[in-house]
Amino acid sequence: MNRRLALYVDRDFMMAGLKPYDTFMPVNVKGYARVPLYFFADPTANKIYYGERYRSEFEDGTPNTYGDFLHSILDERLTYRVFHYTVPVVELLKVVMDDLRREYLTMLGELTQSLDPTARIPISIVWSEQVGEPSRKVFAGYLQRIGYEVDEIPYVSAEMFTLSLYAAQQIMPSVHKRLVIMEAFNEDLNYSLVQGYNAASVERTAGQTYPLLGVDSRVNVISTYTVNYVNSRRRLLGNKEELDKEYRRHFRLAREWTKQLDADSRPFMEVKTDFAVERGVENKVVLKKDEVEQLVTFHIRHLSQSFELFLEKEGQRSEDIDKIIMIGESLRSSAELRREMERFGPEKLLIVDARQEYGMLDGLFLRKQYQEKPDTAPKPPPPNGTDAYPVSGTPPPAQFEPVLIAAQLPIGAQLELGWNDRLIRALHIGNSLFVVLQHHLSQIVTGDQFTIDTFLLGQKPVFRNVLRGGKQLGDYTPGGPLNVLKRI
């Protein structure tokens, strides 16, 4: 059994996962898939609490609240008090890791057994690009002190995520060799240029962060507009750092205002707000729907221009990129952004859902597996014009195709797909979207719609975004590899 714990650490949250056997499992802590690193040190009860609720209190400057954690742990002067003791702020992490340890042992079925709860746990960390080396050292060093055996290899999130996509056959090594990952896990937008050499070897060759561009466009526009409007009249903030901090603080308010604006039938809405430097002093701002929508259009265009600027900086062209992978709620939920990014090629876009975001942790387990047993790495599809077969080395039957790429299929093309004793016939209706015309014994049934970018004979397909009768069923992976793959 694999006892390793995988941890993804971002600027203000963590994600964890296990893979004790062959199936990856996310680890939720107190109901959080993403564990917020915002804390409250209760001086009366001498207890430490953590959660998303303390984010707003920290941003408002409430005493005894702590955030900006990965930066704060670098300041040795920053402390809190418990039982009249002065404690370094990094110690706040222990309450989170104790809860995580409990979940870890429970999922392994060892919480009630004789395993020593203080036994050292092997842990590997995937770091966000926004976590600098000094913060990594302090964070990992603290985990080492409280009972975790930290793997010293610096795992890169973009590389681990790409490995998981290769393993799930959402990208193919000989087809998608040059990738751009757009990631917006927090308020900033991070770009990574990734080179895929084969299904087990990837390398992040470049990166760039654009501050505040990772937030939902309407939230960003409303927050920025409100802060700028008030500040132009009150002159409360004097520099970019102060403005950015107040923009971030207003994001949570703008999320509520966005909902109210959508629900209000009037063409405008008045909101009231204050600044952190002047708490309790209300300022009124009128938000006009048409003006907000116009600003959103400009903002979406600015986002796509950031993609072009990133490529230009790295000496790349959009036509040279094989896949554009978008990760994060604000990116996948924006229909406007998707339409804007489709100008670089709609077949290039891959929108990642919340469940697939754990791929950066699963990729860590894959990387270690490939390093320890290289023969377990998935084989790339054969080059065009050869009769090599990617699984057994035996050529496929003459009527079968070794590889079919959906983007190269015309609308109306029909495919026959089979695995085990299951069989379906599917019609391509465009943009890698298929509808099932006939089925035999399969859980994918007539009338279902699904998305697949690449079909590979001898590998398990992943039917993504299965739609049945207007209801989303999620993704489906059959129990066996494709043994029938042909055009009709």
Contact 65, 38 (CB under 8 A): yes
pLDDT value, residue 112:
57
For residue 107, is it left (φ>0), alpha (ψ between -120 and 50) or beta?
alpha
CA atoms of 129 and 8, how far apart (whole Å):
11
What average pLDDT does the structure give for the chain? 88
pLDDT value, residue 394:
46
Nearest CA to 23 among 101, 94, 107? 107
Which amino acid is present at 232? S
Backbone angles phi, psi at 239, to 5 degrees: -145, 170
Planar angle of CA 324, 300, 407, nearest 5 degrees: 30
Q: With b meaning 16 or more CB within 10 Å and e meaning fewer, what string describes 264-284?
A: eeeeebebebebeeeeeeebe
* Greatest pairwise CA separation for the chain in angstroms: 79
Our measurement of the distance from residue 162's CA atom to the centroid of its chain's CA atoms, rounded to an integer in Å, reads 11
3 state DSSP class of 467: strand
Contact 247, 239 (CB under 8 A): no
Between the alpha carbon of residue 275 and those of residues 236, 248, 317, the distances in Å are 8, 11, 42
Strands 403-405 vs 471-476: parallel, antiparallel or unpaired: unpaired
pLDDT value, residue 159:
92
Cβ of 324: how many Cβ atoms within 10 Å?
19
3 state DSSP class of 15: strand
Give the orientation angle of helix 157-167 with respect to helix 359-372, to 10 degrees: 80
Low pLDDT (below 70) residues in the chain? 111-118, 199, 374-399
pLDDT value, residue 115:
52
Structure tokens at 342: 């489709």
Residues 6+ positions from 200 with CB-CB distance below 8 Å? 163, 166, 366, 367, 370, 374, 377, 378
pLDDT value, residue 191:
96
- What is the value of pTM for the model shown? 0.74
Count of alpha carbons within 13 angstroms of residue 25, beta-carbon side: 18
Tell me the Cα Rg of the chain: 25
Q: What domains appear along the chain, each with residue ranges and CATH number?
A: 5-153 (3.30.420.40), 175-353 (3.30.420.40), 403-487 (no CATH)
**Residue 32 DSSP symbol:** B
Backbone angles phi, psi at 151, to 5 degrees: -70, 125
Residue written as tokens 């941890």? 7
Strands 403-405 vs 454-456: parallel, antiparallel or unpaired: antiparallel
Between the alpha carbon of residue 291 and those of residues 101, 218, 255, 298, the distances in Å are 49, 11, 17, 11
Between the alpha carbon of residue 198 and those of residues 3, 171, 382, the distances in Å are 28, 11, 12
Contact 2, 21 (CB under 8 A): yes
